[in-house]
Amino acid sequence: MPKPEIIIYYAEVCGLCHKAMDFFRSRNYDFTAYEIGYDRATDQWEPSENLDALEKQIGSFDFVPQIFINGTHIAGWKKLEPMIESGEFDALLDQK
């Protein structure tokens, strides 16, 4: 069975981002993580190639993590968690 492609855009200061990555690690899923810098003083994302790449894919966004499972966009841990509980996440892993 081919390995699923899991990509996560995260900010170091984001607890839910780390929760998502910890979940992937706990299941031994390989994933690619791209950090999006966040400036607390200005309350803005820091300009970077990763920010540009994510905005090119989904447009503007207000929060991270932004997750892609085999190309399907999942906007945040709060969307991913119920997908895990319902089995929808496992179905996405099987798609390629």
Give pTM, 2 decimals: 0.93
Determine the Cα–Cα distance for residues 42 and 19; give it in Å rounded to an integer: 25
Q: What is the homologous superfamily of the domain 6-94 according to CATH? A: Glutaredoxin (3.40.30.10)
Phi-psi region of 80 (alpha: psi -120 to 50; beta: other; left: phi over 0): alpha
> Average pLDDT, stretch 5-28?
97
Determine the Cα–Cα distance for residues 37 and 41; give it in Å rounded to an integer: 12
pLDDT score for 26: 96
With cut-offs at 50, 70 and 90, classify the pLDDT of residue 94: confident
> What residue segments make up the domains of the chain, in order of their start?
6-94
State yes or no: pLDDT of 11 exceeds 70: yes
| pLDDT tens-digit readout, 28-78 | 999 999 999 999 999 999 999 999 999 999 999 999 999 999 999 999 999
- Half-sphere CA count of 26, side-chain side, radius 13 A: 6
